[in-house]
Amino acid sequence: MKKCTVQMVADAVSRLAPRRLAEEWDNPGLLVGEPSNEVKKIFVCLDVLEENISQAIELDTQIIVAHHPLIFHAIKNVRADLPLGKKISRLIKNNLAVFAAHTNLDIVAGGVNDILAEKIGLVDVKNFGDEEFSMGRLGTLETPMTAEDFARHVKKVLNADNVRLVSAGDFPIKKVGLCGGAGAEFIQKAKFFGAQAFVTGDVKYHEAQAAVENKIHVVDAGHFATEFPIVHVLAEYLRDELKNFDVEIFEDTTSKDFFATI
């Protein structure tokens, strides 16, 4: 079996989700680590949390591949008494690299939003309009549903602790728009292209109000639940892409949403 390096893992993820597809404000790529270091074990997760770092260390992995970047903005210090500095310090001390694929993995075919559409059971899934690359997706339910039944369906297939339904009236859902994570900015766009409902997370009060006024149902299934399915898919992709290398891939199966229903 061939030797694998941090750079080879980075290149493998980049073949799936090229950096050029990322939004300008985003910060994907290799955020911590030495590209030439050897990799024998990889840990795939949604967020670089303290507990995920601990799990990666316990498994003796050399790189964490995450969806959300550990570092978003420029930092002026690395203080181990503060959460971000503590994580960076632990990573460096344990020679553990971090690579992130964020909005590029949202946008790309087969990425976060296509997997979300697949989980919901949409068919004839397309980008918005004639866009070559689109953050959101449009698809069709094989059988129309009421808003309430659709919300229950989304909750079940995403294994979400809860969903919030914004009901915009008494009309069925056939065409659905979606954007994993925080995609409320695309609700009106989905409506323009004929969607009767939109699935996303992190919906605010006035965004819900606008949806009702524009006669489009919204199912807020949460940031976590709409994105977490990509972890398994990304791990499976890496298992196949790196099958000729001496490397083992582990995936996070224990993380939970920060929000709980009380």
Q: What confidence score (pLDDT) does residue 131 get?
A: 87
Residue-level pLDDT at 24:
96
- At residue 80 the predicted structure's pLDDT band, cuts being 50, 70 and 90, is very high
The pTM for the full model equals 0.96
> Is-same-fold flag (4-105; 109-226)?
yes
Q: Domain 109-226: which CATH class?
A: alpha beta
Burial zone of 171 (CB within 10 Å; 0-12 exposed, 13-18 middle, 19+ buried): middle
CB 9 within 8 A of CB 39: yes
The whole-chain average pLDDT of the chain stands at: 97
Question: Distances in Å between the alpha carbon of 73 and those of 69, 70, 199?
Answer: 10, 10, 28
Residue 1 has pLDDT above 90, yes or no: no
Q: What is the per-residue pLDDT across 161-188, written as a single tens digit (0 to 9) for each?
A: 999 999 999 999 999 999 999 999 999 9
Domain ranges of the chain: 4-105, 109-226
Domain 4-105 falls in which CATH fold? 3.40.1390
